[in-house]
Amino acid sequence: MRYIRERGDIEEKGNSRMTTRLSNLVRAGAVAGLMLAGSATAALADDQRDFDIVNGSTSTITKLYVAPSASSEWGPQLLQGPIGPGGVLHITFTGPGVPGCQYDVHISYNDDRPDQLNNVVVCNINSLNVADSGITFTLAGQ
């Protein structure tokens, strides 16, 4: 069926202004949804807590634990394999953070020697630097 719009244009009934507006609204909603999904993905990929562990020591790091400073438990060991001298591992956080972003880091070496750094505000760091003399960190932006 055909009808004449106010401006004199002829179009099919299925292409009425209301249908066109609804179609545009649906398209706009789909675009907005994709933009939000992209933002959520980007937010997950760029967690403020993420940092690198840089092994500048002469030992191999065999175990790594990172836990909220207020916790009495270390939780699971994070390494899937050792980090040799000169190696770098990017630590990626998922899930909710803790107030103040304070975490403790515990490392064990191939000779079972432990090393630990407490109360690190990981949201402010770019990397943890492991050396034979201990663990230090590099602030984000440096």
Write out pLDDT tens, residues 8-44.
443 333 444 444 443 444 344 443 333 333 334 444 4
- pLDDT 10s digits, 62-118: 999 999 999 999 989 999 999 999 999 999 988 888 989 999 999 999 998 999 999
Helical segments of 46-101, H only? none
Please tell me whether residue 104 adopts helix, strand or coil conformation: strand
- What's the mean pLDDT in 55-62? 97
**Mean of the pLDDT values across residues 120-132?**
94
State in Å, rounded, how far the first CA of the chain is from the last one.
69
Which residues have C-beta within 8 Å of that of residue 92, sequence separation ≥ 6? 47, 50
Please state whether the predicted TM-score (pTM) of the whole model is above 0.75: no
More confident residue, 58 or 32: 58
Per-residue burial over 125-141, b if 16 or more Cβ lie within 10 Å, else e, is: bebbbbeeeebebeeee
